[in-house]
Amino acid sequence: MSKQFFPNLSQNYIEILKDDNYYDITIEVGNDPNVKIFRAHMIILYYRSPFLRRTLSSNKKNDN
């Protein structure tokens, strides 16, 4: 089971990162007219970045 589970899990994560439909955070970088928009998934950012974990937790407490 584990031989099939982990490759499928990795493939699922790749698909999630490419997904343009079910993102829940939009990050805008730059100044007009040079703004780049990144769509992301809060749960992935939360678990992959200690900085973003603190930022997202702080914003959640402030209801932002």
Question: Model confidence over 31-57: pLDDT tens digits?
Answer: 999 999 999 988 889 999 999 999 888
Strands, DSSP E only, in 1-64?
25-29, 36-40
- Considering the chain, what percentage of its residues have pLDDT values greater than 90? 30
pLDDT value of position 36: 95
More confident residue, 59 or 53: 53
CA distances, 4 to each of 10, 12, 41, 42, 47 (Å): 10, 12, 25, 27, 24
pTM: predicted TM-score of the whole model, two decimal places: 0.61
**What does DSSP assign to residue 41?**
-
- Residue 11: inside a domain: no
- The average pLDDT across 9-38 equals 90
Is 43 a member of any domain? yes
Distance CA 31, CA 37 (A): 11
Q: Is residue 61 part of a domain?
A: no
Is the pLDDT reported for residue 60 higher than 80? no
Structural domain boundaries enclosing 29:
21-50
